[in-house]
Copies of this chain bind each other. A is one copy, B any other.
Amino acid sequence: MDTHEPSGAPEPIRIFVTGGTFDKEYDEIHGRLYFRDTHLPEMLRLGRCRLDVRLRTLMMIDSLEMADTDRTLIVENCRKADEARIVITHGTDTMVETARALGTAGLGKTIVLTGAMVPYAFGSSDGLFNLGSALSFVQVLPPGVYIAMNGRAFAWNRVRKNTQTGVFEDIP
């Protein structure tokens, strides 16, 4: 059965953190953006999230700096994870590439990638909205790889990021 309707005792969900704008912070001594610790625990607290979520930081990098070895690490961690439902926080610039690596790996799990256009550390971030969105999609979508951005879930092979507008859209 494809549908996953709500029932008691939600399945565990794995969250893999890889960095991206989602987790960037402002380094006031050097006047630049950088990574420290992930804000995921704080965001889950803010959302009063009562899911059985297991968090693991795989890396904290800008996705423009991801190499094949990084993507392989992500795929292998998804493969080895006990959980069948996985959310991955990721930079938006190459999110589609990582989604492709996961999609072609055929892992048979429900995997949702999400990120943010504005760092969570800012007041005007889409991070919290996207996190709520991704955690919901991952509970109800059938096995496959998806990108959750702008309120929507896109199948991994039917989406691109419009670099002019910063919005994710269907490939026609």
Footprint of B on A, CB under 8 Å?
1-3, 5-10, 21, 26, 28-29, 31-33, 43-44, 46-51, 62, 93, 117-119, 121-126, 128-137, 139-142, 144, 146, 148-155, 158, 163-170, 172
Establish whether residues A121 and B123, one from each chain, have CB atoms under 8 Å apart when the complex forms.
yes
A5 to B133, CA, bound (A): 15
Of the candidates B6, B134, B141, the one whose C-beta lies within 8 Å of that of A5 is B141
Chain B residue numbers with a CB within 8 Å of A50 are 150-152, 167-169
Establish whether residues B48 and A155, one from each chain, have CB atoms under 8 Å apart when the complex forms.
no
What is the minimal beta-carbon distance from A70 to any residue of chain B, in angstroms?
A: 18
The 4 A-B residue pairs whose C-beta atoms are closest, nearest first, are A47-B129, A132-B132, A132-B133, A129-B132
Establish whether residues A29 and B164, one from each chain, have CB atoms under 8 Å apart when the complex forms.
yes
A106 to B129, CA, bound (A): 30
A163 to B163, CA, bound (A): 36
Establish whether residues B126 and A46, one from each chain, have CB atoms under 8 Å apart when the complex forms.
yes
Q: How many copies of this chain does the complex contain?
A: 4
The chain B residue sitting closest to A53, CB to CB, is B151
Chain B residue numbers with a CB within 8 Å of A10 are 152
Chain B residue numbers with a CB within 8 Å of A153 are 6, 136, 139-140
Supply 20 further A-B pairs (C-beta < 8 A) apart from A6-B158, A129-B129, A140-B141: A2-B5, A7-B155, A8-B170, A8-B172, A21-B28, A26-B119, A26-B122, A28-B117, A28-B166, A29-B166, A31-B62, A32-B33, A44-B151, A46-B125, A47-B126, A50-B151, A50-B169, A122-B122, A132-B133, A134-B136
